[in-house]
């Protein structure tokens, strides 16, 4: 793999040290490792290891500087053939994210600490995966920045056991005991409580001395002066030493008998804790953040509450008086570090995240239109799953069509939107867009191809967004194809979009999957209606309320029912609740007694019912696609629409279309409906017989 790590600077610190350690490990394992930063003292270590370092102002928050740096990083990605960009701080995250959009690399982040809930901090959760050093930080990223749990990867920080060699309790005289605190000179590290605790310890063990190790954080000079004042006020001038910033931490730890970590803020992890445990120095630490995940109180360290200098002092005295306790804590601490916090384990876990990020794909398919169009999308989903069998395929659909996809084996997750309810208006659309953004999709396949779907596709910030350039915000897609209105069969029309992904149409058929309960409903319905003794024909009398021009005439439906019964078939009428009045007209006019299932089934119950038909008769509507998906022969009655554009290829059907050419008008201009009136009962009856006695015959339009 080719990995680029990007961070603000490479001066001494936990993040910087971890970056260098990981870069060296990756290089030793044969991976291409590159680092981008604004420079620092640790650059020389990378150069000695032969690891390329690029110096860029990735610590500058000025937007124009970040944009310029992103362009440079994009060029580095292309030059070094980078596959993974791993950002370790906020400004580098913005730079890395923008660069990945240009250069098509996978973007990851590591959240090293608690961030303020500022818009600038949200980028730390925008990686495909967000690596966290502790569960505390993982919870912080989920609660404060909306990062889904599925995007969180826990990889604790590590210690290089070749540098931090175990030595156990320090050899010293009986009247010698040194405690220390290591960390940046800043109030949140709690050095003032260390000084107060040391003053208390001296009352019982006057030979204890202390070290304060760490450089002054920018802007914290006043705090350093405060520590110096406390040192004089507590009479510690001859007892405590301020050693400043040190790079030789292993050597510093070898000079300590106990490490105190008196932090008062939520620590993301506590790197110095595991470093001390690795060397064999007992640790006394505050119960803050990720520290409680490292130390088991009384077993491999001692825990105290923040700002409690008295508790710190008591813990130090325990160690002074009980050398055996120090030894037990040291040995248990080392064992835990070897088991959980070694460099090899951290690097291996990080590599596993990299591998997962490269191999796993999250693909969003958008199709939230009517039921019939949703059924026509099934072959596309099947082809996508075949092309990307390990991908997580997520389908976004509307409430009306949700039932189509609920049992679809080709999708891994179904997202349901409701543009008439909770997702109504711009606010609802915004909430839905944020929900999609949080999923970090690698690609979006827009099979809906309207303004809303294009907006939602863009809102995912996915690197790859596929669809038709139909003049309806199509510019928001970065992979688009013209010809949205070309006269093609509906499935092949969708496959033109998939063609941009290297997926060709191979004759995929429609499918539906009624549940066992749906199948039982159909069986019980037929049994209750005494329809089990004869073959039967289903007739769909319905049409969309908007497309009344597609519906056949009531008198013809009733005539067909009578003709079918004379031929020995039983008839079941199907339709929606909006078709109830029309059904009454048919039943009143018919001499036979067809069974009426209008408004009595769910979509999948209807599918199960149609599945038991010998032949199905239907207009151009959703039940036509249901019949095709259930592989039942059907007679398709077409009027103002073109069967070549609306009928799935390979359907076992006979198409009847008479009179006018397709006009695509929902209301007949002539008021006489010649196209639908031109279809006679005899025509339909003949087609039914043709399909019933030759069911494998296919009649295309």
Q: Which domain holds residue 668?
A: 516-693
My answer on whether 219 and 103 are in the same domain is no
My answer on whether 481 and 600 are in the same domain is no
How far is Cα 617 from Cα 423, in angstroms, rounded to an integer? 36
Q: Where is the domain boundary, 154, 169, 193?
A: 154
**352, 357, 360, 366 alpha-carbon torsion, rounded to 10°:** 160
My answer on whether 336 and 259 are in the same domain is yes
Q: Domain for residue 629, yes or no?
A: yes
**Is pLDDT of 700 > 50?**
no
Q: Write down the pLDDT at residue 173.
A: 66
Q: Domain for residue 30, yes or no?
A: yes
My answer on whether 521 and 656 are in the same domain is yes
Q: Where is the domain boundary, 465, 499, 533?
A: 499
317, HSE (Cβ side, Cα atoms, 13 Å): 16
Across-strand partners of 595?
Answer: 572
My answer on whether 487 and 532 are in the same domain is no
| Closest CA relative to residue 630, chosen from 599, 605, 654 | 605
My answer on whether 640 and 686 are in the same domain is yes
**Is pLDDT of 373 > 80?**
yes
Q: Where is the domain boundary, 499, 524, 540?
A: 499
Q: Domain for residue 507, yes or no?
A: no
CATH number, domain of 282, equals 3.40.50.2000
| Closest CA relative to residue 539, chosen from 629, 648, 621, 433 | 621
Q: Mutual orientation of helices 451-459 and 425-437 as an angle, nearest 10°?
A: 40
What is the per-residue pLDDT across 19-67, written as a single tens digit (0 to 9) for each? 999 999 999 999 999 999 999 989 999 999 999 999 999 999 999 999 9
Q: Write down the pLDDT at residue 232.
A: 93
My answer on whether 13 and 126 are in the same domain is yes
My answer on whether 331 and 367 are in the same domain is no
Q: Domain for residue 385, yes or no?
A: yes
Give the count of domains, the chain: 4
My answer on whether 182 and 122 are in the same domain is no
My answer on whether 493 and 521 are in the same domain is no
Q: Mutual orientation of helices 603-610 and 516-528 as an angle, nearest 10°?
A: 60
My answer on whether 492 and 631 are in the same domain is no
Q: Domain for residue 227, yes or no?
A: yes
What is the per-residue pLDDT across 161-201, written as a single tens digit (0 to 9) for each? 888 999 877 777 677 899 999 998 999 999 999 999 999 99
pTM: 0.79
Q: Domain for residue 617, yes or no?
A: yes
Percentage with pLDDT > 70 across the chain: 97
Q: Domain for residue 388, yes or no?
A: yes
My answer on whether 120 and 228 are in the same domain is no
Q: Domain for residue 548, yes or no?
A: yes
* Of 174 and 150, more confident: 150
277 token code pair:
């445990």
How far is Cα 260 from Cα 590, in angstroms, rounded to an integer? 93
pLDDT band for position 452 (50/70/90)?
very high
The mean predicted confidence, pLDDT, of the chain is: 90
């Amino acid at each position: 793999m080719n990995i680029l790590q990007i961070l603000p600077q490479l001066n001494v610190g936990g993040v910087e040290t971890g970056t260098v350690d990981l870069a060296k490990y990756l290089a030793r394992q044969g991976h291409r490792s590159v680092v981008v930063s604004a420079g620092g003292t640790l650059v020389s270590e990378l150069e000695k290891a032969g690891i390329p370092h690029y110096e860029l102002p990735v610590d500058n928050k000025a937007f124009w500087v970040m944009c310029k740096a992103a362009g440079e990083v994009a060029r580095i990605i292309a030059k070094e053939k980078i596959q993974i960009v791993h950002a370790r701080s906020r400004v580098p995250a913005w730079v890395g994210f923008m660069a990945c959009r240009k250069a098509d690399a996978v973007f990851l982040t590591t959240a090293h600490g608690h961030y303020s809930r500022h818009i600038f901090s949200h980028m730390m959760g925008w990686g495909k995966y967000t690596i966290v050093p502790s569960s505390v930080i993982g919870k912080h990223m989920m609660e404060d920045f909306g990062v889904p749990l599925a995007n969180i990867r826990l990889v604790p920080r590590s210690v290089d056991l070749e540098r931090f060699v175990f030595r156990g309790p320090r050899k010293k005289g009986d009247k010698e005991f040194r405690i220390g605190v290591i960390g940046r000179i800043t109030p949140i590290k709690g050095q003032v409580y260390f000084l107060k605790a040391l003053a208390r310890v001296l009352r019982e063990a006057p030979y204890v001395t202390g070290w304060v190790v760490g450089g002054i954080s920018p802007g914290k000079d006043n705090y350093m002066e405060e520590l110096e004042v406390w040192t004089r006020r507590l009479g510690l001038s001859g007892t405590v030493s301020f050693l400043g910033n040190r790079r030789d931490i292993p050597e510093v730890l070898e000079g300590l008998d106990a490490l105190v970590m008196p932090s008062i803020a939520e620590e993301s992890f506590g790197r110095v804790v595991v470093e001390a445990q690795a060397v064999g120095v007992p640790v006394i630490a505050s119960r803050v953040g990720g520290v409680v995940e490292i130390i088991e109180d009384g077993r491999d360290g001692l825990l105290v509450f923040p700002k409690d200098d008295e508790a710190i002092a008591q813990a130090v005295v325990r160690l002074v008086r009980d050398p055996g306790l120090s030894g037990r804590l040291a040995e248990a601490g080392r064992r835990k570090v070897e088991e959980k916090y070694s460099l090899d384990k951290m690097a291996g876990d990080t590599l596993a995240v990299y591998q997962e990020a490269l191999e796993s794909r999250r693909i969003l398919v958008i199709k939230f239109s009517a039921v019939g169009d949703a059924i026509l999308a099934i072959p596309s989903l099947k082809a996508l799953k075949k092309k990307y069998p390990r991908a997580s395929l997520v389908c976004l659909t509307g409430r009306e069509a949700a039932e189509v996809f609920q049992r679809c084996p080709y999708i891994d997750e179904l997202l349901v939107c409701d543009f008439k309810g909770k997702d109504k208006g711009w606010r609802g659309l915004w909430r839905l867009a944020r929900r999609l953004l949080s999923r970090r999709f690698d690609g979006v396949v827009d099979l809906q191809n309207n303004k809303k779907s294009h907006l939602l596709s863009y809102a995912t910030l996915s690197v790859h967004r596929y669809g038709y350039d139909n003049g309806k915000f199509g510019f928001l897609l970065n992979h688009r194809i013209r010809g949205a209105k070309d006269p093609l069969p509906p499935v092949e029309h969708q496959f033109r979009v998939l063609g941009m992904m290297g997926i060709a149409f191979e004759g995929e058929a429609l499918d539906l999957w009624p549940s066992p309960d749906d199948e039982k409903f159909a069986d019980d319905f037929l049994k209750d209606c005494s329809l089990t003794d004869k073959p039967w024909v289903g007739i769909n009398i319905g049409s969309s309320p908007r497309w009344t021009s597609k519906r056949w005439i009531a008198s013809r439906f009733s005539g067909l029912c009578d003709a079918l019964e004379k031929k020995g078939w039983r008839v079941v009428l199907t339709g929606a609740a909006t078709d109830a009045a029309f059904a009454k007209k048919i039943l009143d006019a018919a001499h036979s007694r067809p069974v009426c299932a209008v408004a009595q089934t769910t979509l999948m119950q209807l599918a199960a019912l149609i599945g038991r038909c010998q032949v199905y008769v239907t207009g151009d509507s959703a039940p036509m696609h249901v019949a095709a998906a259930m592989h039942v022969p059907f007679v398709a009655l077409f009027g103002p629409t073109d069967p070549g554009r609306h009928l799935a290829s390979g359907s076992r059907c006979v198409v009847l279309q008479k009179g006018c050419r397709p006009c695509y008008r929902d209301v007949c201009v002539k008021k006489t409906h010649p196209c639908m009136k031109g279809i006679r009962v005899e025509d339909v009856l003949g087609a039914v017989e043709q399909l019933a006695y030759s069911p494998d015959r296919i009649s295309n339009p």
